[in-house]
Structure 1
Amino acid sequence: MRWSCFKPWRRSPSPSIKSTVIEETDDSNKKDREGSSCPRFREFTLEELSVATDGFSADNIVSEHNEKVPNIVYEGTLSDGKKIAIKRFQKLSWPDASEFIEEAQEVGKCRSEYMASLIGCCSEGQERLLVSEFMPNGTLAKHLFHWEKRPMKWDMRLKVALHTAKALEYCNDMGIDLYHDLNTYRILFDKVGNPRLSSFGLMKCIREGKSYSTNLAFAPPEYLRLGIVVPESSIFSFGTLLLDLMSGKHIPPNHALDLFRGKNYLVLMDSALDGQFSDEDRTELIHLSSRCLRREPEERPNIKFLLSALSRLMKRAESWPSVKGENNPAPSHTKPTTKQSSRSTPLGEACWRMDLSGIHELLEKLGYGEDDVAVTNEFSFQMWTGDMQENNDYKKHGDAAFRAKDYETAIEFYTEFMNGAPAVSPTVLTRRCLCYLMSDMFSEALSDAMQAQVVSPECSTALYLQATCLLKLGMEAEAKEALQHGSSLEAF
């Protein structure tokens, strides 16, 4: 497949904004919030940058790079002692030198406390280099995915989202409506630990075949369909960033949308954040992310809407009671007490105690409820022709084995039944889930419980069984959340 070429979408900034930018870039005494001067944009010589990086020494490489990300970022030190970051593009990534310089100068006008400013460029021969302020405290990816001491807290994750949104709004006001490949490596932390958006992402190579995203699994749908991007494409990428912040993992958007539809919030939220936010705040952030990831660009929210929502979340986070103990030990995986499930039904309590015999007895009493009416009706219709008689017998044999506590046989018959059934029965799924639990097949059991919830979103039984599966897998924080969700469903 051949990708279409495009240039970054730019609008002409309003006169008032343009004049402000000129004042800031012409004022050599302009201070950023760290107290250091932000130098005017200028062109560097290749010799200057070579000296600053000890001849582009491998010891000064600060970014990950591979075949998909061939452009390397170096740390350097100028003759006046100022630290800089230098992005060295692959040879001939920008064939037109004048176009590269013009593009860099436009980006170099941006000066915001929410961005790592672009302070220069270099174009000599086949070399194309960008020079930016150096951010000494690493990337968001490092602090979010590869932390050593403690995970990033909820309020800091919201601060990252809010500051990034403010940076994108500033870029919009400057007439730059596209940000190239927004991801956790594009968010950097300055000397005092504040998040800044890298200015490198505002530069877009126009060489034919250059991908919008370094990972197509995270690229906007319009790029995958048509090979083009629009201003709303940056909102899609912002949605993937919200996903990373919530989960502490890099979840592909398509998978996340499936989790949204199935209300599988346990997988979406980082268990290390337990107790740091309200259910309302969690739901709101998940909803924001899902809106950003909508397939059609015009259905995504604009940046001002996101700023308003994130500002509200940030204020609530600041007033939320702090989690006691900075260095909380890892969650215990010992058998929990029943106190956690005091508001649950007997089934919920049995699931929290991991009382599998008690669960079996209660599931038998529940039988096939209203959730299976549609399934039963469909079976009855097809029974007139006899097409479903054999398949219905599998279900009957499975139920008989379930009552007799012959769990291995029940699994076999229930599986045969579901392979030929025209619709999925949530009760059969929950029964097979328990059979898997009894057989110490905990991952298979969790899969059935989650599928039962997808089929019947208001099914508290599926959530209670998820809690038992998660406890068996040593995931107590997630189990607690599943139990609470099940209890809240029963309250309605």
Structure 2
Amino acid sequence: MGCCQSFLPMGSRRRDKDQHHYGGAGGGQPHHPRSSNGTEGGGAQGFSEFSLAELKAATNNFSSDFIVSESGEKAPNVVYRGRLQNRRWIAVKKFTKMAWPDPKQFAEEAKGVGKLRHKRLANLIGYCSDGDERLLVAEFMPNDTLAKHLFHWENQTLEWAMRLRVALYIAEALDYCSTEGRPLYHDLNAYRVLFDENGDPRLSCFGLMKNSRDGKSYSTNLAYTPPEYLRNGRVTQESVVFSFGTVLLDLLSGKHIPPSHALDMIRGKNILLLMDSHLEGNFSTEEATVVFYLASQCLQYEPRDRPNTKDLVSTLAPLQNKSDVPSHVMLGIPKHDETPATPQHPLSPMGDACSRMDLTAIHQILVATHYKDDEGTNELSFQEWTQQMRDMLEARKRGDLAFRDKDFRSAIDCYSQFVDVGTMVSPTVYARRSLCYLMCDQPDAALRDAMQAQCVYPDWSTAFYMQAVALAKLDMHKDAADMLNEAAMLEEKKQRGGRG
């Protein structure tokens, strides 16, 4: 199925310079990621290849004033904040010259991380591989790191409920990554936990990518490194759980204490000795005991004795006791405006239905449109018209009948048979299956299919509209609004082309 089997996350379609938005998706065409039009790529859901010139402009030529790494210029791989031409803030990680000698290997690794999209992650939105330069581009988190809030706070220490929220959200991020086949996280610590514009904690995507092609830079401090890494130099999923245990110790103590020292501190003694005195007793001893016990399990010497990421989530979820209090209130920061941006372009009936998240209306439009948008996406030779092809088209036909009759689960099964054969790609099938997933309350799967549709047909507005609905269902409302606007612009551009 060409590009769509390998790199999905909205590909690398470049934008015209007049497209100003929150940072919408790119499209397919992964073999031609950069056009002469340049780009203003970047955003919570898109993934793009950036030019070095763009990132230099965004960071004032990688000015030291823009460095946000905790070790400043002394860090082996420096992180900068930057601002794109569309005013979108980004974080840029600049690798040392020889960390990734092979540009293809670096791009493949970046694209693998770029497939991940979750509200608990500071997501990767692009990369740059230009000459010897290797850079990653991520969403920028404006409200500092967990390390800053725990160890170097100026106004107020983190309250207990927020510490519990941090623990749960990072556990959820790790569990999502594990479920999506990216379980390894390098050097998990309090500096990797960032706070977004709403004060919600998120896990930096940079730790999902090795610091070098051989991955031999797991931790910056051997005192916090999993024991098996010191024995054999290998990073495993259990190693990540060990590092999560060190973060739990940070949350309990308000200090960065080496795991062996922390365990010695409370072995046979009162857990209150470990607790952060700045909390001034404003915490539940029962909850703290649960967190400490979980931390001690994570820090077991033998990897097989540690819990898995699902265990982390199931243990921490019941401890959340202020779920109705927004994170920005707990952090003491101004409220971020949640109002989605108004689309800058007029919406078609499809756009209007998607903006209202009217799945019934979307269904009616997709049924009426049938497959007219697939024209030209497949050119089949006579030899390809095999029995397999006939079986595949029969599966699609059964899917179409089920789709028309609103039997969405059967439609998913039939369309999946069509897709899995892989001889023929159809953006319409992906769009229809995306809606079926939405009807079955599976927005993650719906988003993946909408992204697949865009990969097949990079300038198809319906693919963007379906992404907008899925993003809204995932509570990523700013991104959904941006995606609606991107789709409307594509429609307008197509109409202008038709008139011309």
Q: TM-score, normalised by structure 1?
A: 0.57
Offset at 1:39?
4.5
Does the residue aligned with 2:320 lie in a helix, a strand or coil? helix
Offset at 1:69?
3.1
Matched, 1:180 2:186: yes
Aligned match for 1:118, one of 121, 124, 127: 124
Offset at 1:206?
4.1
- What letter matches 2:317 in structure 1? S
Structure 2 match to 1:56: 62
Instruction: Name the CA shift for 1:257/1:275 in 2 (closer, same or farther; >3 Å).
Output: closer
Aligned match for 1:222, one of 221, 228, 231: 228
- What letter matches 2:275 in structure 1? M
User: Following the alignment from structure 1 to structure 2, what is the Cα–Cα distance between the partners of residues 300 and 175?
Assistant: 19
Matched, 1:78 2:84: yes
Report if the CA contact (8 A) 2:193-2:202 is conserved. Answer: yes
Does the residue aligned with 2:290 lie in a helix, a strand or coil? helix
What CA deviation, in whole Å up to 9, does each residue of 1:319-362 have, x standing for no partner?
99xxxxx99xxxxxxxxxxxxxxxxxxxxxxxxxxxxxxxxxxx
Structure 2 match to 1:92: 98
Report if the CA contact (8 A) 1:107-1:118 is conserved. Answer: yes
Structure 1 match to 2:137: 131
What CA deviation, in whole Å up to 9, does each residue of 1:88-136 have, x standing for no partner?
0111111111100000001001110001110010111111100001111
Structure 1 match to 2:170: 164
Offset at 1:23?
7.5
- What letter matches 2:83 in structure 1? T
Structure 2 match to 1:244: 250
Aligned match for 2:269, one of 260, 263, 270: 263
User: Following the alignment from structure 2 to structure 1, what is the Cα–Cα distance between the partners of residues 313 and 44?
Assistant: 26
Report if the CA contact (8 A) 2:107-2:127 is conserved. Answer: yes
Matched, 1:191 2:185: no
Offset at 1:257?
1.8
User: Following the alignment from structure 1 to structure 2, what is the Cα–Cα distance between the partners of residues 289 and 24?
Assistant: 38
Structure 1 match to 2:318: 312
Does the residue aligned with 1:239 lie in a helix, a strand or coil? helix
How many positions carry a matched residue from both structures? 300
Report if the CA contact (8 A) 1:24-1:111 is conserved. Answer: no
Offset at 1:192?
1.0
User: Following the alignment from structure 1 to structure 2, what is the Cα–Cα distance between the partners of residues 149 and 66?
Assistant: 23
What CA deviation, in whole Å up to 9, does each residue of 1:434-481 have, x standing for no partner?
xxxxxxxxxxxxxxxxxxxxxxxxxxxxxxxxxxxxxxxxxxxxxxxx
**Structure 2 unmatched runs, 5+:** 14-22, 26-41, 326-330, 333-500
Instruction: Name the CA shift for 1:166/1:92 in 2 (closer, same or farther; >3 Å).
Output: same
- What letter matches 2:240 in structure 1? S
Report if the CA contact (8 A) 1:92-1:127 is conserved. Answer: no
Structure 1 match to 2:309: 303
Structure 2 match to 1:341: none
Does the residue aligned with 1:100 lie in a helix, a strand or coil? helix
User: Following the alignment from structure 2 to structure 1, what is the Cα–Cα distance between the partners of residues 10 and 173?
Assistant: 17
- What letter matches 2:292 in structure 1? I
Does the residue aligned with 2:249 lie in a helix, a strand or coil? helix
User: Following the alignment from structure 2 to structure 1, what is the Cα–Cα distance between the partners of residues 324 and 91?
Assistant: 37
Structure 1 match to 2:328: none
Does the residue aligned with 2:119 lie in a helix, a strand or coil? coil
Instruction: Name the CA shift for 1:23/1:123 in 2 (closer, same or farther; >3 Å).
Output: closer
Report if the CA contact (8 A) 2:24-2:46 is conserved. Answer: no
- What letter matches 2:107 in structure 1? I
Report if the CA contact (8 A) 1:260-1:290 is conserved. Answer: no
Instruction: Name the CA shift for 1:271/1:169 in 2 (closer, same or farther; >3 Å).
Output: same
Report if the CA contact (8 A) 2:43-2:125 is conserved. Answer: no
User: Following the alignment from structure 1 to structure 2, what is the Cα–Cα distance between the partners of residues 277 and 39?
Assistant: 37
Instruction: Name the CA shift for 1:67/1:120 in 2 (closer, same or farther; >3 Å).
Output: closer
Does the residue aligned with 2:60 lie in a helix, a strand or coil? coil
Offset at 1:68?
7.3
- What letter matches 2:239 in structure 1? S
What CA deviation, in whole Å up to 9, does each residue of 1:188-213 have, x standing for no partner?
11111111100000001344583210
Structure 2 match to 1:272: 278
Structure 1 match to 2:111: 105
Report if the CA contact (8 A) 2:67-2:73 is conserved. Answer: no
Offset at 1:272?
1.9
| Aligned-pair Cα RMSD in Å | 2.9
Instruction: Name the CA shift for 1:289/1:24 in 2 (closer, same or farther; >3 Å).
Output: farther
User: Following the alignment from structure 2 to structure 1, what is the Cα–Cα distance between the partners of residues 136 and 193?
Assistant: 17
User: Following the alignment from structure 1 to structure 2, what is the Cα–Cα distance between the partners of residues 79 and 62?
Assistant: 20
Offset at 1:279?
2.0
User: Following the alignment from structure 1 to structure 2, what is the Cα–Cα distance between the partners of residues 45 and 314?
Assistant: 43
Bigger mean CA deviation after superposition, 37-46 or 192-201? 37-46
- What letter matches 2:277 in structure 1? S
Report if the CA contact (8 A) 1:65-1:71 is conserved. Answer: no
Offset at 1:293?
0.2
Q: TM-score, normalised by structure 2?
A: 0.56
Instruction: Name the CA shift for 1:319/1:254 in 2 (closer, same or farther; >3 Å).
Output: same
Does the residue aligned with 1:130 lie in a helix, a strand or coil? strand
Structure 1 match to 2:448: none
User: Following the alignment from structure 2 to structure 1, what is the Cα–Cα distance between the partners of residues 208 and 61?
Assistant: 27
Q: Which has the higher contact order (CA 8 A, sep 6+)?
A: 2
Does the residue aligned with 1:111 lie in a helix, a strand or coil? coil
Bigger mean CA deviation after superposition, 255-264 or 300-309? 255-264
Offset at 1:38?
2.2
Q: Of the two, which has the highest radius of gyration?
A: 1
User: Following the alignment from structure 2 to structure 1, what is the Cα–Cα distance between the partners of residues 196 and 307?
Assistant: 29
**Structure 1 unmatched runs, 5+:** 1-17, 31-35, 321-325, 328-492
Does the residue aligned with 1:232 lie in a helix, a strand or coil? helix
Matched, 1:65 2:57: no
